[in-house]
Amino acid sequence: MKQNRPITFFSFPGTAEAAVNFYVKTFPNSKLIQFHYFSHDAPDLIGKILNADFTIMGEPFYALDFTTEQAPPASWQTSQYIEFSDTNEFDQVFNQLSQDGIVLMGPEAIQQFDKATWVTDKFGITWQLVHRASSH
């Protein structure tokens, strides 16, 4: 893995394993690299994710669990922005993320994008998905 570059690190209230498995299934070119679990050193988190190492669309991501009380609140102040070149991939990813999630906007045409949406998934992560209109 390259050093000296930002990597997204998600924090979850005990749902990291389910979230990572969901993202790996939802996004093309994504894979689970490994899960590391808390052990007896953290009795409130035994069996939960200490560190998940995975990729989404070829980019590295990390995740970890907190107890429900310690987990930071979910917010759409920060979002993951993804441009799609294939409208079918856009639709498939949007449909998965919006299922049991909250659609904040769209999908709709905006400026140079023929499809744009903001959606918060069932794990509290907000995504901006766009498909740029092809120029003919």
Q: Torsion-angle region of residue 117: left (phi > 0), alpha (psi -120 to 50) or beta? A: beta
- The model carries a pTM of 0.91
Using only C-alpha atoms, the chain has a radius of gyration, in whole angstroms, of 16
Joined together, the tokens standing for residue 113 give 């994008």
Structural domains of the chain, ranges and CATH numbers in brackets: 8-65 (3.30.720.100), 80-132 (3.10.180.10)
Name the E strands within the chain. 8-12, 31-37, 49-56, 59-65, 80-84, 102-110, 113-120, 126-132
Rounded average pLDDT per 10-residue block, the chain, 136 residues: 84 98 98 96 92 98 94 88 97 98 96 96 98 75
Residue 69 is predicted with a pLDDT of: 87
Please identify which residue in the block is written with the tokens 């609140």.
73
- Residue 135, pLDDT score: 58
